[in-house]
Structure formats: C-alpha cells, structure tokens
Structure 1
Amino acid sequence: MAANPSTRSAVSLHGLALGDAFGSQFFALANYRSFPDRTPPAGPWEWTDDTQMACCVHRVLADHGVIDQDRLAASFAARYEPHRGYGAAMVRMLPLVHGGGDWRALSAELFEGRGSWGNGAAMRVAPLGAWFADDLTEVVRQAVLSAEVTHAHPEGVAGAVAVAVAAATVATEPGLPAEGFLDRIAEHVPPGMVRDGIAEARRLLAVDDPGLAARTLGNGSRISAQDTVPFTLWVTARERHDFEAAMWTTAAVGGDIDTTCAIVGGIIASSGHADRLPAEWRRRCEPLPDWAGVPPLDR
C-alpha cells in the first residue's frame, strides 16, 4: 500500500489515465484483434473526459480532504473540454453549470427527471476509493457525494459506489481471493441492477472467455452503470495483479473501451504500486494536466 491516501490516490489516477488513454486508441477499431500479438498501439495516447473528470475529483480531495459537491460541480464545468469526448448529457449540462446553473436541478432533470444512470460517475471515482480506502463507510459516503453531482439515478450512484469500494479493497486487502473481492464490493452496493450484475460476475469467475462474460454482463456499449461496472469488476477480480493483462482482456470485448479500461486501470493502480504500470505505456500516455497537482511518474 502507498504511504498515504494522497499518494495512493495519485497512483490510482495515473492508472486510470493510462487505461483511459490505452482504451481510447480502439475507438476506430472493431476489437483488440486489430493487434493480434498484443503489441500496444503506436503513441502518443490521449486520454478522454474520464481522466479530465477524475482529475477534478482528485483536485477537490487534495484541496478539501472530502468531496465538496459545489466545488466539484464548478471544477467539472470550468475544466470542460468538448474535444475530450463527453457524453451528450454532460455536453448539455456542464456549460449551463459554468454559466451559473444549479447543478442539483440540472442533474435531477436529466432523462426526463429520472437522472442519469450512465457510467460517468463510475469512470472517475477510483482515486476517491484509494483516498478513503482505510474506511469503507467513508468510501461509500464520499462516492455517493461525488456521483450525485452529475448522476441522480440510483444505478448511476451504485456504479460509483461499486468502483470506489473495489479500489479501496485493492488498496487494503490485496490478498483476497476473487470471490471474496466481489463479495466485499457487493456488501456495500445497494440493491438494484448494478449489484445484480456483480452477483452474476461472481458466478462467471470460472469462465475464461471474456467475450462470454461480456455478453452476459455488458461491455459498456449501452453507456449505463449496470452495463459497464459488472464486467470491469469481473476483469479486476481475476487480473488485479497484472495491469497489461487486465487492459487487453478489457479491450478484447469492445464496447466503451476507454471507460472500461479507465475503470479497471484506476482500480488496479489503487494498490499504490506505480511500478505495476508498464513503463513503455506510461511514455506513450499523455501527461496529466498541471492543474491536477499530481506529480508525474517516471516516464
């Protein structure tokens, strides 16, 4: 485990960005078989909105020690860069927040008043789980606060809770078997489709074919938390100790590859072991922005 929560969170953010940037290389491709020998795509690799928003989460934690929802919403809006590939809901919402709109009302109004159950709150939350890893109750509370800023639907919130608890568990209980890892996460996720998906992921742990697992669990192609988080946890449960293998397994099934790889990368890197992030991959990856306040890893 890294020496302190801030360092642990920073390494998680680097892993998230590396997964995001790796996954983003597959946007124009059908699947990983475009690289049959698993040779990484040629660099440089640029990351997407997943990393941009995760940097905002980490910056708020570094500045305030907890999630201040108003400051997080303001950071999301101020750092909004359309070319990063934001989802349609955020393309509409964040400029309104930047113009003075109330994030609470805007988040609640999405999708005809149901709120978003998208995977955006889950994709950015792993560094938060790493930060609060020593207290799972606080992990859950802070994950909920971070999600509500943009995702008012209970499934969107549940996805964030699941990923945050997964990151915390990797940081504090690295020796858990795969079944125990998923059980620990499920203990803290409220009833619903995300938790049902985690239970299904547990039943599929013995399956060696990621395509079969994804056909059951989803691969993020529907952009929902319940279509994204269970598969990423299936991968992480099986391959927590091998970043490269986890990335290729995640990319193999297509779908929302930058987001699924970002989630898996952020969870695995919550261990705080920066040396598990491949050095050559790090050299190809776009650096984190200076405003995030995160020291670079050796490149």
Structure 2
Amino acid sequence: MTEVQDGTSDAELAASLGSGFTSEHADVNGVRLHYVTGGTGAPLVLLPGWPETWWEYRKVMPALAERYRVIAVDIRGMGGSGRPEAGYEKKSMARDVLELCKHLGHERVAIAGHGIGSMVAFAFAANHPEACDRLVMLNTTHIDESYYEFRIMPRPGEPGPYRWWLGFNLVPDFPEAVLEGRYRHMIDYMFGLSLTDPDAIPARDRDVYARAYDSADAIRSSKKWFQAYRQDIEDFYSYDKITVPMLGLAYGPFYDYMREKLPQQGTDVRVVQVEGSRNYLVEEQPQAVIDAITEFMG
C-alpha cells in the first residue's frame, strides 16, 4: 500500500473521494494489482500514466461513478501494484487488466488510459476485442516507429519538448542511483513541462506521486515500461484495426496528430480537442474529460 508524506494510504485516499470508493488488491496473471472501485453501472476501467498513479483520476472518478462502475488500476509496476521482473510489454499488461476484469466478474468493459496507460488500453482493445466495449485514449497513441525519430539534441529553432526521459529510462542503474529519495524533482519537471496551470496539481498530490516512485525498486519497475518499447512497437504492427468504438482526447498539436493517426488504426473513431491543457488533461480539465467520456459511453 502506497504511503505519502502526511501518512495517507491508498485506502484513505480512496475513501476521500466519497462513500463507496474502496482500495483493493487482486492476484491475477502473475502480478498483484492494486485498484480502486466505486459507483454502479457498466464497468469503466481507468489506467494512469507515468509519473502518476490511479490518483490521477481523482477529479473525475466521483462524477463518473454516478453512471458507471469505475475501476482505477495501478498498472503492473506502479504504486500499490506488484513489481515483478518481467511482463512489462503492453500486450502482457493488457492481459493483466483482462484477468482483473474477469476476477471482478466483468466479461466486457469500457477502458480509458493516459500515457503508458493509453498504450495498455489500446493493446487491450487490440488483443481482447471480445472483452472491450469502448476505448478512450487520453493524449497518447500506442507507440510506433516514430518514437525512434524523437530528437535529444534539436536543431536550432525546432520546437520542444525534447523527450530525453525516454532514453534516460533505458539507462541501466543510473536513474535509480540519482533519483532514489528525490523523485519529486522528476515529478515537478514533468508537470512544469506540460501543465498550463501549475496549481492544477498541488503539492499534496505531487507528494502522492513522488512517494509512489521514490524507491529504487519503484524506479526500476517504472523503467521497464520504457524498456519494453521495442517489443511494443513490434506488437503494434501485428495488430489489426481496432473494431470497437474509439475516442481520442488531446490538446492542440497532438489533437492534430491523433486526428490523422487514429482513423488509420480503428474502424469507428472520433477525436475531441480539449482546450486549456497540454498533457495532463484529466487533472487540468476534468469536466471536459467527464463530458467527453459520458457522451461517448452513452
């Protein structure tokens, strides 16, 4: 169970969202997964991205729980979930989610993800269409060969950001050596890079995230999501088009990218632009995310 600096546990964080939210664990597909559930209705799985945890969805979970059975999951290697040595390919992590849904008695779910979680959600829809009702991708498409083209050192005048953290997370041993006990620096850097309103994620919430990643073991596990990228790219090109309805939510330039790419990857696709945000849509524009998901879910 993940603790933060004020002594708050995942169970207490879940309870703070309102009556009916609970923090639980399940052993599925060779990993112990932590998840938070609340609400009634059709099941909706929420998968967070790096460098966050299930707490990323705190602002949208109560409203969504009025209509759906919300299941926010710490993916393999994240927060209160287990950190096994292997299984960080997004295809394997999608199997984790499938087995968790079966464990909870859900044969078919809607699934939404951000960042790494969006890649897992895409892999879920691609590999288990019989279990997927709808797919929501928040500001991130599944990794493909274009990632090999990201620049570390830009030419003069090229716009950022420069995704140095992708290579950084591939380096053996070094990230945990310099960030153990200091992960708040990475948290603040990433949020500083992509928040239009820094107050959208205040200090207490940043402490929740930093505490989840602060240990050497947690950093090693989170690195494995990036270290699996080569296999993820190979898997991506083996998938057929997504056949379930797909919604992409994104800001400015990435909205244009999603609008171009997602129709090539699915048969029933819509893309919505979220104003007033960059990467962290759920935390900066929660009402827009709630409205878009609710309309999409029907």
Query: Do the structures match in fold with TM over 0.5?
Result: no
Greater per-residue helix proportion:
1
Greater per-residue strand proportion:
2
Normalised by the size of structure 2, how large is the TM-score?
0.32
Normalised by the size of structure 1, how large is the TM-score?
0.32
Greater RCO, 1 or 2 (C-alpha within 8 Å, sep 6+): 1
